[in-house]
Each structure stands twice: as C-alpha cells, then as structure tokens.
C-alpha cells in the first residue's frame, strides 16, 4: 500500500518583532524601488529636454547651445543672406564666461576664434593698418563704449575701431586703434575704464566715447538711472565667500542649479516664470541706491548723469593733453524706414522705443549747455533716410552700419591725431 503524502507545512509566521522587521524591510525595498525608477525617469527627462534644439524646452538664453536670440540675429537681413553669421554667433556664445575686473566689474574671457579675438586682459583685438616701413609710431586712439563699440555682430576687422583705423590709413593718416568697449558698459563704466588707463600712465593721443543705449536700457531695467546693468546680480553675490554667509552661498548655489534645469525651464514656459521660484538663498541687502523713481523722471535723470560722465571724461583727458570726442549712438527706434525684420525686433522690449526717444531728446537738450558740447556729436539720426537693413536688433548694427559710423568719426579723429595737446580738440 503506498505511503500517504504528507500535508504541506504551512509557512511559518513571524510573530512580534520579527514580523514587524520583515514588513519594514519589504516597505523599504518598495520605497527604494519607486525612488530609483522615479530618479531614472527624471534624469532621462532632463537629458531629453536638454538635448532638444534651443527654445524647444525654454527661451532661456543660458542654453548650452546658441540661444534663439543669437540664431535670430544670425538671420538678420542686414547680413544679406551671408553664411558666416551663423558660425560667428556660435563662436560668440563661447564668450558667455566673463573675467572679474576691479572698478568696472567685468570683461570678456579670452578667445582665439575665427571671427573674434579677445586677449588675456579681456579686450577685443583690433587688426592694425600700419603701412610697412613706417619709422614713426602712429598716434594711438582709444575707443570706449558698450557692445556696439566692442563689435557684437561684427568680425574683428569690421568693428568700429578697426574700420576707423583702416579708413585713416587709406587717407594717409594711420593710427593705432585700441578697443576698450565692453558689453553692457554704461557711460560711468566707460569713464572709469578711461581713468584707470590714464592713472596707469597709458596716455593716447585721443579718446573716443560712443554711448547712449546702455544708459537708457539701465533705467528701463532698474527703474532708476545711473546703475550698471544687472546690478541685482551683484547684490546677490556680494559677500558670499564670507564665513557667516556660507548658508546663503549654499542656498544661492542650489537655487541657481535648480533654475538651470531643463525640466524647470520647461515647466516655467508652461505655467509661467513666476509660478516656480527657488529663493533658498537670501538676496542680500540692496542698499540705498535701489529706490525706483516715477517714469517721467527717467529721461532727465539719464541725461544729467550722461552729461556729467562726458564732462568728467573730458576733464581727465584735458589734464593729460589727450583729445576727446563723444558720440551719441543710433538705435533702431531712430530709423523711420524699417525692413520687416527690423520692425519685428523693434517690438521685443515693450515701451523701450518711447523711452529711447525721450531719453535722447533729454540728452540733446542737456548737452546744449554743456562746456563740452563742441566735442559732442549726435549720430542717432545717421540712418534716418536709410531704407536698407542696418540693425540686427534694437541697438546693434551690422558691419555695413559700422562702416557708416566709422566714416562719420574719421574727420574729427584725424584732427585730434594731428594735434594731441590740451585744447586741440576744439573745432
């Protein structure tokens, strides 16, 4: 007779602490599994979004690839369909990192590119047009200004200083043109940059200041005149390396890291930028300068500060026998006949057009009574009768426009180069 099959032994049930520990272990395993899958999904989504073309996940200009704004400028009709602007702006984006410079805050990082050359001091290189065999060193002329003087949108040989140098060499009056322009510099920073050169014994025959748009954009940005661009960044960053500020440093770094995630940028594009904010680091004390004033005061405030800076620069120049000239630069808002592209970019900053017109009117009126009015020239209307495209955005002009500006400056600078002594720059 076959042996009976024994009944299966029922599973052992843990009792008391053992049963609790086993359940806890299973729960922790499930939590880690869910967390791991979630993390993998988040990392994968971040990777996918970061690999999308610029603008697909966000309009943030900090994308590692060329921003939509740079791509737009490369397609500006002022370039006449040329191929080089696309490669130029890809190279231009590599200048995103800046060097800290005392008193003036920043300069561009060094770059040796195909279209753009920036030296170790952060200054853009200007190709010189000195005839071979010349024994006497040509007079030096320093050029100060913002990104329009630096040459955003132009190759090394087509910046304003380079074109002035070429034009004067062609006329038999060669100079050594040195470009001290820098992106975002307001007129106060230009004067300080000039003063630092003079302080250190670097005395040119003449100094040129090409200004206006950064001063008016500063008041548009801060709602108070006379500040460098993005002054709020300096407030956030001030003193972060101090021991008692370490907690703010870590919070600020974490906030910045979160801000730069493609997922966050995408969500902000969908639900609004102000909806998702990371303010884990204190913003610091803003100081007494940050007191916005009514809009009707902006033009007058800009004009008075602009005049004071020009007069200060002239006084520094006169004290060292340096000639000086001041130019109010053009904007797209002062070009009545615009191409479809120019009309499109003129609306990117709501209200900026009327502010620019008002500020420039105030500057002209202010300069009528200035002791340096004979050294000041308003170039804002230089394109008033021009129907051809000149601008790549509201303030930057293409190389053909730089050529026009350079030709307008040359007669003044030729006289200064011949007479580099006090009082010689009166017409």
Q: Percent of the chain at pLDDT above 70?
A: 77
Assess whether pLDDT exceeds 90 at residue 418: no
What average pLDDT does the segment 387-415 reach?
A: 96
77-81, 170-174, 210-214: range with lowest mean pLDDT: 170-174
The reported pLDDT for the residue numbered 52 is: 63
Indicate whether 14 pLDDT > 70: no
pLDDT at 63: 40
pLDDT class for 69, splitting at 50, 70, 90?
Answer: low
Lowest-pLDDT choice from 123-137, 233-247, 265-279 = 265-279
Structure tokens at 406: 């350079």
What own/partner pairs with CB < 8 Å and gap ≥ 24 does 38-45 have? 42/263, 45/263
- Tell whether the model's pLDDT for residue 143 goes beyond 90: yes
| pLDDT, tens digit (0-9, with 9 covering 90-100), for 249-262 | 666 667 666 767 77
Give 420's pLDDT tier (boundaries 50, 70, 90): very low
Q: Per DSSP, which regions of 306-370 are E strands?
A: 323-328
DSSP 215-243: HHHHHHHHSSSS--TTHHHHHHHTTTTSG
- Pick left, alpha or beta for residue 226 (phi over 0 → left; psi -120 to 50 → alpha; otherwise beta): left
Residue predicted with more confidence, 94 or 181: 181
* Residue pLDDT, tens place only, 32-53: 788 888 878 777 776 776 666 5
Return the biggest CA–CA distance within the chain: 132
Query: Is residue 19 over pLDDT 80?
Result: no
State the average pLDDT for the chain. Answer: 85
Lowest mean pLDDT among 52-66, 117-131, 356-370: 52-66
* Residue listed under structure tokens 């000041």: 376
Q: What pTM value is reported for the model?
A: 0.81
pLDDT tens, position by position, 181-202: 999 999 999 999 999 999 999 9
The better pLDDT of the pair 87, 68 is held by 87
Structure tokens at 113: 């590119």
Q: To which CATH superfamily is domain 68-238+284-418 assigned?
A: SGNH hydrolase (3.40.50.1110)
Residue position matching structure tokens 């020009």: 310
Two tokens, residue 45: 């989504």
pLDDT over 80 at 106, yes or no: yes
194, 187 contact by CB (below 8 A): no
* Confidence class for position 427, pLDDT limits 50, 70, 90: very low
Instruction: Inform me whether the pLDDT recorded for 124 exceeds 90.
Output: yes
Give pLDDT, residue 125: 96
- What is the C-alpha radius of gyration for the chain, rounded to an integer number of angstroms? 29
Burial category of 212 from C-beta neighbours within 10 Å (exposed 0-12, middle 13-18, buried 19 and up): buried
Residue 218 clears pLDDT 80, i.e. is over it: yes
- Domain boundaries along the sequence of the chain: 15-51, 68-238+284-418
CB atoms within 10 A of CB 40: 10
Residue 7 tokens, joined: 């009944």
For the chain, what percent of residues have pLDDT higher than 90?
61
Question: Quick one: pLDDT at residue 255?
Answer: 67
pLDDT confidence of residue 150? 98
CA distance to 146, 176, 187, 236, 337, per residue, from 212 (Å) = 9, 25, 8, 27, 21
């Amino acid at each position: 007779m076959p042996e009976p099959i024994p009944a299966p032994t029922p599973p052992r049930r843990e009792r008391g602490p053992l049963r609790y520990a086993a359940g806890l272990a299973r729960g922790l395993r499930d939590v880690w599994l869910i967390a791991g899958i979630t993390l993998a999904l988040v990392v994968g989504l971040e990777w996918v979004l970061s690999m999308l073309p610029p603008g697909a996940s966000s309009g943030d200009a900090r994308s590692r690839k060329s921003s939509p704004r740079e791509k737009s400028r490369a397609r500006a009709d002022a370039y006449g369909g040329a191929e080089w602007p696309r490669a130029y702006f890809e190279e231009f984006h590599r200048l995103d990192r800046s060097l800290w410079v005392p008193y003036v805050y920043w300069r561009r990082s060094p770059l040796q590119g195909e279209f753009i050359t920036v030296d170790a001091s952060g200054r853009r290189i200007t190709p010189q047009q000195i005839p071979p065999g010349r024994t006497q060193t040509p007079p030096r002329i320093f050029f100060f200004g913002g990104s329009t003087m630096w040459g955003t949108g132009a190759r090394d040989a087509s910046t304003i200083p380079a074109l002035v140098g070429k034009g004067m060499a062609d006329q038999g009056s060669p100079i050594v043109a040195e470009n001290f322009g820098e992106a975002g510099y307001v007129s106060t920073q230009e004067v300080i940059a000039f003063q630092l050169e003079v302080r250190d014994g670097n005395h040119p025959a003449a100094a040129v200041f090409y200004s206006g748009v950064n001063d008016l954009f500063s008041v548009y940005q801060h709602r108070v005149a006379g500040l460098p661009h993005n002054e709020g960044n300096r407030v956030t960053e001030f003193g972060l390396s101090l021991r008692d500020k370490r907690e703010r440093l870590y919070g600020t770094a974490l906030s910045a890291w979160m801000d730069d995630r493609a997922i966050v940028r995408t969500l902000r594009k969908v639900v609004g930028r102000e909806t998702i904010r990371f303010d884990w680091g204190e913003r610091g004390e803003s100081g007494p300068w940050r007191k916005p004033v009514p809009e009707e005061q902006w033009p007058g405030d800009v004009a008075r500060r602009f005049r004071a800076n020009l007069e200060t620069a002239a006084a520094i120049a006169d004290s060292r026998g340096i000639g000086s000239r001041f130019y109010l630069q053009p904007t797209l808002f002062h070009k009545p006949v615009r191409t479809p592209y120019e009309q499109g970019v003129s609306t990117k900053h709501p209200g900026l057009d009327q502010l620019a017109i008002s500020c420039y009117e105030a500057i002209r009126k202010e300069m009528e009574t200035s002791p340096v009015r004979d050294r000041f020239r308003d170039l804002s209307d230089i394109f008033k009768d021009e129907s051809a495209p000149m601008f790549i955005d509201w303030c930057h002009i293409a190389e053909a426009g730089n050529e026009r500006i350079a030709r307008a400056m040359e007669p003044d600078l030729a006289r200064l180069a011949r007479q580099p002594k006090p009082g010689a720059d009166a017409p």
